[in-house]
A and B are shown apart, each in its own frame.
Chain A
Amino acid sequence: ETGVTQTPRHLVMGMTNKKSLKCEQHLGHNAMYWYKQSAKKPLELMFVYSLEERVENNSVPSRFSPECPNSSHLFLHLHTLQPEDSALYLCASSQGWTATGELFFGEGSRLTVL
């Protein structure tokens, strides 16, 4: 049983749709992350939130919009996506800027853009 829960696990959407991915962590952590995992590409860090404040935005297109209403929840709002955005989106959490930097991942949301 994972301490980080992602919903939905699978999502199919058209390029004109608007949808959201949800992540919830039950570990009492204060930092949360969105990663993108595409086939045959390295794991890509998209956004980092610490204490509900965005501290990292790695040149991600504006069609991806994150939201962190509290330290336990993280959303990724999606609109007017492109087929190349099809990927596994992974949420992770950690206990802030600790020396170990260990990440706890959810099982991911598999997104297909038609």
Chain B
Amino acid sequence: GDSVTQMEGPVTLSEEAFLTINCTYTATGYPSLFWYVQYPGEGLQLLLKATKADDKGSNKGFEATYRKETTSFHLEKGSVQVSDSAVYFCALSVLTNAGKSTFGDGTTLTVKP
């Protein structure tokens, strides 16, 4: 079946540090890939997405590139802020699986001033 494996947390960084959260996947079809973010006390919201190989998703300074050859979708940001502290979820969706999403376990990021 489909699965998503993401870097275990928690991750603690100083403000303006570089962020990488690794995500790899296995899928039986051709997935779309997503990063969702969950701020404290809120639900998940889409951060960025990529729907085919070599696509780069970007939003709010975050980027991730769909790498089919390494089945990866690593999340990066060049300079994190305190307000980026949240839980980050990598996910995939395969059309042939009736649109259901498969999520990673989530990575908690804390950014200190």
Contacts and interface: CB of A to CB of B under 8 A. Distances in A.
B32 interface: yes
B36 to A, nearest CB: 8
A97 B44 contact: no
A25 interface: no
Given A55-B98, A98-B95, A98-B99, A103 B105 contact: no
B99 A96 contact: yes
A12 to B, nearest CB: 17
Contact of B45 (A48, A55, A96, A105): A105
B66 interface: no
A102 B49 contact: yes
Contacts of B101: 45, 101, 103
Interface residues of A, number: 27
B69 interface: no
A72 B43 CA distance: 18
Contacts of A90: 43-44
Nearest to B43: A105
Contact of B99 (A43, A101, A107, A108): A101
Interface in B27-78: 32, 34, 36, 41-46, 49, 51
B93 A100 contact: yes
A31 B42 CA distance: 21
A107 B43 contact: yes
A8 to B, nearest CB: 14
Interface of B: 32, 34, 36, 41-46, 49, 51, 89, 93-95, 98-101, 103-106
Given A4-B43, A102-B93, 15 more contacts: A2-B43, A6-B43, A31-B99, A90-B43, A90-B44, A97-B95, A97-B98, A98-B95, A99-B51, A100-B32, A101-B32, A101-B94, A101-B101, A105-B43, A107-B41
Interface of A: 2, 4, 6, 31, 42-43, 45, 48, 50, 55-56, 90, 92, 94, 96-108
